[in-house]
Structure 1
Amino acid sequence: MLTRLRRRLMGLVVALSMPFLPFPPNLLTILGLLMSVLFLLSVRYEHLLLGLVFLLLSAYFDVIDGTVARMRGVPTPRGAFLDSFTDRLSDVIYAFAFLYLGFDAKWILALASGALLVSYARARAEGVLGTRLEGIGFMERAERLIAIILVYLLFMLGYVRASLLVLYVTVALVWITVFHRFIVYFWMISRSPPRAPWQWWPPPPGPP
């Protein structure tokens, strides 16, 4: 959902990316993952304000790394894979952080597993259809990051019930997105032209 809005706010995203334009995009991706690890450690040792700083930095690097790659003219399949892989690692790290905060493990597991399935559905469908797919569903990566920050901020300020309410709504929307993507992608794949077997898998090696 916010993917469409982000296109309209591209000027702001570009401005946020400018300070890090000299840096390799993959380095920014790794920094985002490092910030999520520091967020987890801050929560583990009850430095909640410091944890908020690291959480915001993690989200910041997650937003700008792809933009920096495009501005530098160096987007690569390797960078896209690294970005996607570290995003999934960050999702798991966030889940562990909220477990340390004392949130119900069932809800955190539901959030983490739903987030992974949302991302997997898109990745698998893109692999099958051979085209880029985004903007389908309520809770893409950007929306989930905003929700996670809001849950954490409310909890840190002492509004525990409000943070739980936001968590419950987020989990519900994440799983709605899972099934929404399944239906949409399944329909798109069903309508795509049939492929020969060698178009789904690498062709067998030829004669020596």
Structure 2
Amino acid sequence: MGDTAGLVEHYKGLVIGDETTLVVRGASVREVVDALGGVPLADVPEDELDGEEPVWAAYRLTAIEGGVLACEDTGYADPPNSVLVALSEGGRAAAVARDNIQAHCRFGCARDGELLFDDDEYRFLEDRSSVPEEIRALFDLAWVDLGQDESEAQEDDTNAVGLAMAEVITGIRLTPADAARLEGDDATVVAVRQLQYADEEHPAT
């Protein structure tokens, strides 16, 4: 998968996803849609999707080599941990990277039905002992030490760092071809309810 710096550079140069990007190894598009609770856009009232206080967000999903790539453009419909765990069962793996308009940069991941890590603002995590060793070097690039007055992240592109960590967890390297498939006419588009993650009670990380 390459060295840490090279991995981040790969994702800096890749225009993919929106506010939330979900990568799942070993699943089908149908399985991911069902896990997310996705419904056809036509079944959702227009004001609940595009109104002043939307209830739903539009997800685009596509099959890629090894699994599924899914994205949504609000940063408020990222999957709760229960969905990540369900999608990772049976030898699969799932990871989500999110950066919403409030600059809440989340990274969460699960493998083999077990939640490995999740934090809603991972770059400001005070206790890094919960960070899996396999992604620690990447995590540290975006981390800000709040205990130090002049601490700054080595890497400001949290999306690139998040996608790099997702690759380590899932084993799937996203490519320009994947990005093109996601934006293509064959991509699956569904509506998913917002704030499912926020409504879920999260275990301490």
Q: TM-score range by the shorter chain?
A: 0.3 to 0.5
TM-score, normalized by length of structure 2?
Answer: 0.33
Structure with bigger strand share is 2
TM-score (structure 1 length as normaliser): 0.33
Which structure exhibits the higher relative contact order, with contacts defined as CA atoms closer than 8 Å and separated by 6 or more residues? Answer: 2
